[in-house]
């Protein structure tokens, strides 16, 4: 069996034990429903994963166009404007 980091993958005896425990907990009538629900969940996860991958790939392939804004002149180079005067009645 392959190992992921420090976790060993379960072998045949462990898988049989897990299946027996699930069979005892849920009963034989609900196992097909659980299998269908698990299969649908995995299918939806794969579809969502593929959509995200496609959107990231299409964004990375799209040309990046940036609109450059003109720079403002430095404060010292601007003409001195008089401050607005408020009229009091």
- Compute CA distances 32 → 27, 45, 49, 76, whole Å: 10, 20, 26, 78
Per-residue confidence in pLDDT tens, the chain, 89 aa:
555 566 777 788 898 898 889 888 888 888 889 889 999 999 999 999 999 999 888 877 766 566 666 666 555 555 566 667 777 76
| Domain annotation covers residue 76 | no
Asked whether residue 14 is assigned to any structural domain, the reply reads no
- Cα gap 41→35, rounded to integer Å: 10
| Residue 41 forms part of a structural domain | yes
Domain interval for residue 45: 29-59
Domain count for the chain:
1
Q: Is residue 3 part of a domain?
A: no
The model's pTM is 0.46
Q: What pLDDT score does 76 carry?
A: 55
In a domain, 38, yes or no: yes
For residue 4, is it within any domain? no
Distances (CA, A) of 20 to 28, 75, 77: 10, 78, 82
Give the per-residue pLDDT at 30.
87
Within-domain flag for 73 = no
Q: Is residue 86 part of a domain?
A: no
């Amino acid at each position: 069996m392959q190992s992921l980091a420090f976790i060993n993958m379960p072998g045949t005896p462990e898988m049989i034990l897990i299946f027996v425990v699930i069979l005892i907990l849920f009963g034989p009538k609900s196992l097909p429903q659980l299998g269908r629900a698990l299969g649908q969940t995995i299918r939806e996860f794969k579809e969502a994963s593929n959509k995200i991958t496609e959107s990231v790939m299409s964004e990375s392939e799209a040309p990046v166009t940036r609109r450059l804004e003109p720079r403002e002149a430095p404060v010292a180079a601007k003409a001195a404007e008089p401050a607005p005067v408020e009229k009091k009645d």
